[in-house]
Amino acid sequence: MIGTVLGTAGKPVCVEGYAQDFGVPVDAVQFSCDGGATWTSYETPGMDPDCNVNWSFSFTPPMEGRYELLVRAVRPDGRATPQPARVELDIAPAR
């Protein structure tokens, strides 16, 4: 679990973590900033099924407020983690 990430509107915020699927290779890590309506996929082919996949995601929030980043792992057969991890971003006004 990743705690709330703080940032400032108009400035990049970097979130880091890892993905694993407990004995199954992680073939991609996907990110969504719109509640899961769309996903951005980053391929990680050939990963060892017993290893974590470290990831980082940079997001530039356009305005202050609270945002939610969803993150999920994808298996080689295309199935995604049924319950994505949630990261909350608390963004302050631009200075």
CA pair distance 28, 32, nearest whole angstrom = 13
Lookup: tokens for 3:
């705690």
pLDDT digits (tens, 9 = 90+) for 9-26: 999 999 999 988 888 889
Q: Under the phi-then-psi rule, with left for phi > 0, alpha for psi from -120 to 50, and beta for the rest, what region is 21?
A: alpha
Which strand (E) or helix (H) includes residue 30? strand 28-32
First to last CA, the chain: 30
Predicted pLDDT of residue 9: 97
pLDDT digits (tens, 9 = 90+) for 22-74: 888 899 999 999 999 999 999 987 788 888 889 999 989 999 999 999 999 99
Predicted pLDDT of residue 1: 62
CATH 2.40.30.10 fits 5-92, yes or no: no
Write down the domain spans for the chain: 5-92
Instruction: Please state the pTM of the whole predicted model.
Output: 0.86
